[in-house]
C-alpha cells in the first residue's frame, strides 16, 4: 500500500472532488479519491443547481435530460413579516437531491477506474520531495498532485490551523444548516427564499415529486432555543406566515433532519501546503445565492485545466498553482463579494423587512442581484 503512486489524490468526494476525478480519469490520469462517508448519503444543501452547470454535468456523463428533473424559473423572496417579491429567473436552475447526483457521479468515477476509498477519512496530507503522502486508515498513498475538496470545514482545516478556523468569530461565522425532504403540493418551477430572524429557508422541487426544504441560521439562534430544532422552528421560522403554512402542511420524508454546524463564509486560501483547494474548501458562497454547487463543479474544471498540463510536464508546480489561483479569482471573486454583501442584509429582521419593502416596487433589482451572484454556462 505504501508504494502506491497516483497522479492525483483527491480528498473529499462531494461534487468538486467527484467531478475532478471524472475529468482526470477520462484523460487517462491515475486517480485516487477519499470520501469519509459511504455512498449514497444525504447532505445539507438546498439542492437547487443553477442551469449554468447543466451542460458540464451532462458532459461528465450524468444524463440529466433523461431524469425528468424539475426546471425552476421563478423566484419568490419573503421577509419575516410576510411581505414578498417575485421575479422570473433569467437563467434558472433545476432540482436534484445530493443523494442522487453525488451517487451518479460516484458510479461514473468507479466506472472510469478511479480508486474510490469510501468510508475513509484522510488524517493528513504531507508534501515532501515534490510528492504528496496522503495518510488515512488504508495506509499512506503517494501522488504528484493533491486536491483538497473536503467541503466547508474538515479535520484537515483544524489540523492545518487554517485562518478561518482560528479567527475570532465574526458576523460571517458559525452558522448551522438544516435540511428536510418533504411531501407538499409545491410548484415545480418555483424556488422560494423565506426569511426569518437570523436566517433564511429555501424551498424547491427535486426528483420524484419530492421537495427540498433547507435553512441556514446562526448557531446562536439554536442556542437561544435550548438547542432544540422544533422549538426554534416553532418560535422563529413560523413567525414568517409563509413558512408557518409550509411547515404545518409538510409531511417529512425522513425521521430527523440532516444538519451541519460551524459553517463559515470567511475568505479562505486556495493553496495550502501545495494542495489545491477546490469547492467549498477554497471558498464558500452564502447559500442564499444558490450557487455553491455550480462553483464547486466549475472550480473542478478550472483545477483540472491547471493540473493536466502540470502532469504532462508542460507547466511547473509553481505555474500550475498560480494559474489556478488567478483563474479561480477572476471567475468567482466578484460573486463571493456580492454574496457576502447580500448575506448581511438577511441578518436582522428589521433590515430584511426593510430590504424587501424597498425591492418590492423595483423587482428588477432582485434579478440584477441574482445575476451578480451567478455565472455563465461553462
Ligand X SMILES: Cc1cc2nc3c(=O)[nH]c(=O)nc-3n(C[C@H](O)[C@H](O)[C@H](O)COP(=O)(O)OP(=O)(O)OC[C@H]3O[C@@H](n4cnc5c(N)ncnc54)[C@H](O)[C@@H]3O)c2cc1C
Q: Is the dihedral of CA 257, 262, 267, 268 positive or negative?
A: negative
Instruction: Give residues with Cβ within 8 angstroms of 346, minimum separation 6.
Output: 195, 199, 200, 288, 352, 355
Distance in Å, CB of 357 to ligand X, minimum: 25
The number of C-alpha atoms within 13 Å of 159 and in the hemisphere containing its C-beta is 11
No. of H helices and E strands in the chain? 12, 17
Nearest to 97, CA basis, from 76, 70, 66, 119: 70
**Minimum Å distance from CB 117 to ligand X?**
8
CB of 199 to ligand X, least distance (A): 9
Q: For residues 247 and 296, which CB has a smaller minimum distance to ligand X in the complex? A: 296
Place of cell 415545480: 188
How does 323-350 read in b/e, with b if 16+ C-beta sit within 10 Å?
A: bbbebbeebbeebbebbbebbebbbebe
Toward ligand X, which CB reaches closer, 155 or 220? 155
Q: How far is the CB of 205 from ligand X (least distance, A)?
A: 12
Closer by beta carbon to ligand X, 79 or else 285: 285
Output 123 or 318, the one with its CB closest to ligand X.
Answer: 123
Choose between 16 and 222: whose C-beta lies nearer to ligand X: 16
Measure Cα distances from 235 to 197, 259, 308 in Å.
10, 19, 52
State the nearest-atom distance from the C-beta of 314 to ligand X, in Å: 27
Binding site for ligand X (CB under 6 A): 11-17, 34-37, 43-49, 121-122, 149-152, 154-156, 177, 202, 214, 216, 263, 279-281, 287, 290-294, 296
Question: Whose grid coordinates read 468515477?
Answer: 109
Q: Which is nearer to ligand X, 79 or 293 (CB)?
A: 293
Q: Between residues 83 and 291, which has the closer beta carbon with respect to ligand X?
A: 291
> Computed from CA positions of residues 365, 265, 106, 4, in that sequence, does the dihedral angle turn out positive or negative?
positive
The distance of closest approach from Cβ of residue 125 to ligand X in the complex, given in angstroms and rounded to an integer, is: 9
Minimum distance of ligand X from residue 91's CB (angstroms): 13
Place of cell 413558512: 243
Amino acid at each position: 500500500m505504501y508504494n502506491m503512486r497516483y497522479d492525483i489524490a483527491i480528498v473529499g468526494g462531494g461534487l468538486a472532488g467527484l467531478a475532478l476525478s471524472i475529468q482526470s480519469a477520462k484523460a487517462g490520469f491515475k486517480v485516487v479519491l477519499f470520501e469519509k462517508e459511504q455512498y449514497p448519503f444525504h447532505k445539507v444543501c438546498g439542492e437547487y443547481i443553477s442551469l449554468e452547470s447543466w451542460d458540464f454535468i451532462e458532459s461528465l456523463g450524468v444524463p440529466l435530460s433523461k431524469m425528468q428533473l424539475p426546471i425552476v424559473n421563478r423566484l419568490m423572496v419573503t421577509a419575516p413579516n410576510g411581505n414578498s417579491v417575485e421575479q422570473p429567473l433569467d437563467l434558472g436552475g433545476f432540482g436534484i437531491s445530493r443523494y442522487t447526483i453525488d451517487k451518479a457521479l460516484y458510479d461514473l468515477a468507479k466506472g472510469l477506474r478511479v480508486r474510490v476509498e469510501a468510508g475513509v477519512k484522510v488524517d493528513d496530507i504531507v508534501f515532501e520531495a515534490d510528492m504528496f503522502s496522503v495518510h488515512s486508515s488504508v495506509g499512506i498513498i503517494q501522488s504528484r498532485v493533491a486536491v483538497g475538496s473536503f467541503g466547508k470545514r474538515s479535520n484537515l482545516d483544524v489540523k492545518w490551523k487554517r485562518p478561518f478556523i482560528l479567527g475570532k468569530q465574526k458576523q460571517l461565522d458559525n452558522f448551522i444548516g438544516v435540511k428536510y425532504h418533504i411531501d407538499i403540493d409545491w410548484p415545480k418551477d418555483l424556488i422560494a427564499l423565506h426569511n426569518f430572524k437570523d436566517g433564511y429557508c429555501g424551498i424547491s422541487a427535486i426528483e420524484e415529486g419530492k421537495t427540498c426544504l433547507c435553512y441556514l441560521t446562526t448557531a446562536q439562534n439554536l442556542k437561544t432555543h435550548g438547542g432544540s430544532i422544533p422549538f426554534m422552528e416553532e418560535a422563529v421560522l413560523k413567525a414568517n406566515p409563509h413558512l408557518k403554512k409550509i411547515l404545518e402542511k409538510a409531511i417529512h420524508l425522513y425521521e430527523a433532519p440532516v444538519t451541519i454546524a460551524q459553517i463559515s463564509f470567511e475568505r479562505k486560501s486556495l493553496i495550502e501546503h501545495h494542495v489545491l483547494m477546490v469547492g467549498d474548501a477554497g471558498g464558500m458562497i452564502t447559500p442564499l445565492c444558490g450557487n455553491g454547487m455550480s462553483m464547486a463543479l466549475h472550480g473542478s474544471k478550472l483545477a483540472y485545466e491547471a493540473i493536466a498540463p502540470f502532469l504532462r510536464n508542460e507547466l511547473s508546480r509553481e505555474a500550475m498553482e498560480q494559474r489556478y489561483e488567478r483563474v479561480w479569482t477572476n471567475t468567482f471573486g466578484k460573486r463571493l463579494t456580492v454574496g457576502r454583501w447580500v448575506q448581511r442584509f438577511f441578518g436582522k429582521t428589521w433590515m430584511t423587512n426593510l430590504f424587501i419593502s424597498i425591492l418590492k416596487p423595483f423587482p428588477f433589482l432582485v434579478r440584477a442581484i441574482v445575476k451578480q451572484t451567478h455565472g455563465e454556462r461553462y
